């Protein structure tokens, strides 16, 4: 006797949407960049909260999702600009899913959409992009909210022409288009907007850390759980702890709740722990960590523990212990550069770094919990003679 599941509720954050739009109004910023860890609800917010609130304020909203392996971003954006204009009313009224690549490929773009797989954008697409921006005729009185989700996807050499086209369009229509960029990699976003040679240098506007969902989310989901199960209580304190274990990932929390409802997990806290351990991203990070040299691993742990003075004598000595030989400043520097380039870490300021991926942080936490003593674990890793492949470039 399976009762059909009630739809998963969306916990609205209209006030946060108002806040971003007010910030743009007050400061005159024409762009906002939202950074937030994976799964914390950025896309849901952009589509279900920001878009409708902006539409009520008179913005025409265009939403572009660059998630995944986007081969022709200019074409995708150009189509979204055309498609978005027509569809956004429906999109915001019904809170439908965002305009995605698959929808577009079935829509106006016709079957040839995506046909130039892996060849990048053609000059036709770049022209189409510029024209699509022109035809919006955006002005401060007829403003457009242009949302680029997973913007860091463009931070690649081969997308430089797209970036240049975007930059030109933004400059041309500066007053009429409010840009919102979002992404889960501070490093990737920084590569886009902040570095001196970044292709969209200075175009990222106001930087904001996107907050994860909080107590109202737990409350609402607990109510939903009780409706779902015909009155069985969800232990709210445990749900809160579980949500913290998941570092605010609404995506993993949803999986954890579903597993409790299905009877696959005895309690919400156990279910959150299981969801965390089963997260596919975590497994990828665990494999990457296992391939690191002990000195690389130790350096990563230092960053995780918030240690500064990474080049200081005391730290170099500690690294030398795991390495079994002296470690020089330049060795540290080259490892840090590689981690940085590959998006593992993010440089807050000269010589100070933070991890740039929440799943990497969890992977380090998990192994630290498993290790009885950190040193033997590192030594065990050292006996592995093969040098790891350099950290692989992560998605987007
Ligand atoms: N406000 C919300 N209310 C209820 N559930 C939510 C909310 N936000 C997110 N979720 C749940 O979490 C899932 C993941 O959210 P979302 O895709 O928005 O995360 P994200 O931050 O964009 O992740 P990524 O970085 O991987 O793109 C959603 O599919 C939804 O089930
Ligand atoms: Mg997203």
| Residue-by-residue DSSP string for 116-155 | TTTS---HHHHHHHHHHHHHH--BTTB-EEEEEETGGGG-
- pLDDT computed for residue 375 by the predictor: 46
For residue 389, being part of any structural domain is answered with no
Higher-confidence residue of 257 and 204: namely: 257
For residue 296, being part of any structural domain is answered with yes
Distance CA 99, CA 85 (A): 11
- pLDDT computed for residue 163 by the predictor: 87
- The mean predicted confidence, pLDDT, of the chain is 82
Question: Are 84 and 146 in the same domain?
Answer: yes
The pLDDT of 16-32, averaged and rounded, is: 93
The pLDDT of 352-369, averaged and rounded, is: 87
- Min mean pLDDT across 27-36, 156-165, 371-380 is at 371-380
- Answer whether 42 contacts ligand 1 (Cβ < 6 A): yes
Tell me the pLDDT band of 273, cut-offs 50, 70 and 90. very high
Which token pair is 46? 């952009």
Distance CA 344, CA 30 (A): 29
Q: Compute, in angstroms, the gap from residue 182 CA to the centroid of ligand 2.
A: 8
Q: What is the DSSP letter of 264?
A: S
- Answer whether 97 contacts ligand 1 (Cβ < 6 A): no
The closest of 299, 291, 252 to 272, measured between CA atoms, is 252
Which residues have C-beta within 8 Å of that of residue 365, sequence separation ≥ 6?
A: none
The closest of 179, 171, 176 to 143, measured between CA atoms, is 176
Which residues have C-beta within 8 Å of that of residue 44, sequence separation ≥ 6?
A: 10, 250
- pLDDT computed for residue 393 by the predictor: 40
Question: Are 81 and 183 in the same domain?
Answer: yes
Atom of ligand 1 nearest to the CA of 12: 1
Domain that holds residue 149: 14-209
Last residue of a domain, one of 278, 296, 320: 278
Q: Which ligand is nearest to the CA of 185?
A: 1
Q: Which ligand is nearest to the CA of 39?
A: 1
- Answer whether 249 contacts ligand 1 (Cβ < 6 A): no
For residue 391, being part of any structural domain is answered with no
Across the chain, how many H-helices and E-strands are there?
Answer: 18, 7
Here the CATH number for the domain that contains residue 298 is 1.10.10
The closest residue, in CA terms, to atom 16 on ligand 1 is: 41
Which token pair is 11? 């916990």
Cβ–Cβ under 8 Å, residues 392 and 342: yes
Q: Compute, in angstroms, the gap from residue 239 CA to the centroid of ligand 1.
A: 17
Question: Are 74 and 112 in the same domain?
Answer: yes
- Answer whether 184 contacts ligand 1 (Cβ < 6 A): yes
User: Please, what is the end-to-end C-alpha distance for the chain in angstroms?
Assistant: 43
Q: What is the DSSP letter of 66?
A: -
Residue 81 has pLDDT above 90, yes or no: no
Atom of ligand 1 nearest to the CA of 36: 21
Question: Are 51 and 21 in the same domain?
Answer: yes
Last residue of a domain, one of 187, 209, 231: 209
Distance CA 119, CA 109 (A): 18
Q: Tell me the β-bridge partners of 345.
A: 355
Atom of ligand 1 nearest to the CA of 11: 3
Question: Are 140 and 40 in the same domain?
Answer: yes
Tell me the pLDDT band of 99, cut-offs 50, 70 and 90. very low
For residue 7, being part of any structural domain is answered with no
The closest residue, in CA terms, to atom 28 on ligand 1 is: 251
Question: Are 87 and 220 in the same domain?
Answer: no
Distance CA 79, CA 282 (A): 34
Atom of ligand 1 nearest to the CA of 9: 4
- Answer whether 250 contacts ligand 1 (Cβ < 6 A): yes
The pLDDT of 81-106, averaged and rounded, is: 46
Distance CA 156, CA 239 (A): 39
Question: Are 65 and 152 in the same domain?
Answer: yes
Distance CA 146, CA 385 (A): 50
For residue 147, being part of any structural domain is answered with yes
Which token pair is 140? 């401060």
Question: Are 92 and 205 in the same domain?
Answer: yes
Residue 310 has pLDDT above 90, yes or no: yes
Distance CA 117, CA 120 (A): 7
Tell me the pLDDT band of 197, cut-offs 50, 70 and 90. low
| Residue-by-residue DSSP string for 28-55 | --SEEEEE--TTSSHHHHIIIIIHHHHH
Question: Are 257 and 323 in the same domain?
Answer: no
Tell me the pLDDT band of 385, cut-offs 50, 70 and 90. very low
E strand segments, the chain: 31-35, 60-65, 144-149, 177-183, 206-209, 345-349, 352-355
CA distances, 367 to each of 9, 192, 232, 376 (Å): 35, 33, 35, 13
Quick one: CA dihedral 40, 44, 48, 49, positive or negative? positive
Question: Are 177 and 221 in the same domain?
Answer: no
Question: Are 234 and 129 in the same domain?
Answer: no
pLDDT tens for residues 250-267? 999 999 999 999 999 999
Residue 377 has pLDDT above 70, yes or no: no
For residue 119, being part of any structural domain is answered with yes
- pLDDT computed for residue 251 by the predictor: 95
Q: Compute, in angstroms, the gap from residue 44 CA to the centroid of ligand 2.
A: 7
- pLDDT computed for residue 343 by the predictor: 84
Q: How many domains does the chain have?
A: 3
- Answer whether 38 contacts ligand 1 (Cβ < 6 A): yes
Residue 312 has pLDDT above 80, yes or no: yes
Q: Compute, in angstroms, the gap from residue 71 CA to the centroid of ligand 1.
A: 24
Tell me the pLDDT band of 113, cut-offs 50, 70 and 90. very low
- Answer whether 251 contacts ligand 1 (Cβ < 6 A): yes
Which residues have C-beta within 8 Å of that of residue 261, sequence separation ≥ 6?
A: 5, 225, 228, 229
- Answer whether 41 contacts ligand 1 (Cβ < 6 A): yes
Question: Are 41 and 63 in the same domain?
Answer: yes
Q: Compute, in angstroms, the gap from residue 171 CA to the centroid of ligand 2.
A: 26
The closest residue, in CA terms, to atom 23 on ligand 1 is: 39
């Amino acid at each position: 006797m399976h009762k059909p599941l009630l739809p998963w509720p969306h916990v609205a954050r209209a006030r946060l949407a108002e806040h971003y739009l007010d910030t743009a109004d007050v400061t005159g910023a024409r762009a906002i960049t939202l950074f937030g860890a994976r799964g914390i609800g950025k896309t849901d917010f952009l589509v279900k909260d920001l878009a409708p609130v902006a539409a009520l304020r008179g913005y025409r909203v265009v939403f572009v999702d660059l998630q995944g392996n986007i081969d022709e971003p200019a074409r995708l954006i150009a189509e979204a600009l055309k498609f978005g204009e027509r569809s956004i009313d429906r999109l915001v009224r019904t809170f439908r899913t965002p305009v995605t690549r698959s929808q577009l490929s079935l829509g106006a773009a016709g079957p040839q959409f995506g046909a130039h797989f892996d060849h990048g954008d053609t000059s036709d697409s770049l022209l189409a992009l510029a024209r699509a921006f022109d035809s919006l005729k955006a002005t401060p009185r007829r403003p457009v909210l242009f949302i680029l989700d997973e913007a860091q996807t463009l931070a690649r050499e081969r997308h430089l022409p797209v970036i240049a086209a975007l930059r030109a369009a933004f400059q041309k229509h500066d007053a009429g288009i409010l840009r919102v960029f979002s992404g889960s990699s501070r490093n990737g976003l920084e590569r886009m907007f902040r570095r001196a040679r970044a292709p969209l240098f200075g175009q990222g506007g106001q930087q904001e850390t996107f907050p994860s969902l909080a107590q109202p989310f737990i409350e609402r989901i607990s109510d939903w759980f009780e409706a779902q199960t015909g009155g069985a209580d969800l232990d709210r304190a445990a749900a809160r702890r579980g949500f913290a274990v998941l570092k605010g990932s609404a995506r993993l929390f949803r999986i954890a709740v579903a597993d409790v409802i299905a009877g696959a997990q005895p309690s919400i806290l156990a279910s959150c722990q299981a969801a965390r351990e089963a997260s596919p991203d975590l497994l990828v990070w665990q494999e990457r960590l296992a391939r690191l040299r002990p000195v690389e691993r130790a350096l990563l742990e230092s960053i995780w523990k918030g240690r500064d003075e990474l080049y200081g004598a005391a730290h170099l000595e500690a690294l030398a212990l795991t390495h079994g030989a002296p470690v020089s400043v330049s060795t540290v520097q080259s490892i840090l550069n590689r981690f940085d380039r590959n998006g593992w870490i993010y440089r807050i300021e000269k010589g100070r770094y933070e991890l740039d991926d929440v799943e990497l942080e969890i992977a380090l936490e998990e192994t630290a919990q498993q290790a009885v003593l950190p040193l033997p674990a590192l030594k065990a890793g050292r006996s592995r003679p093969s040098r790891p492949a350099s950290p692989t470039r992560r998605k987007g």
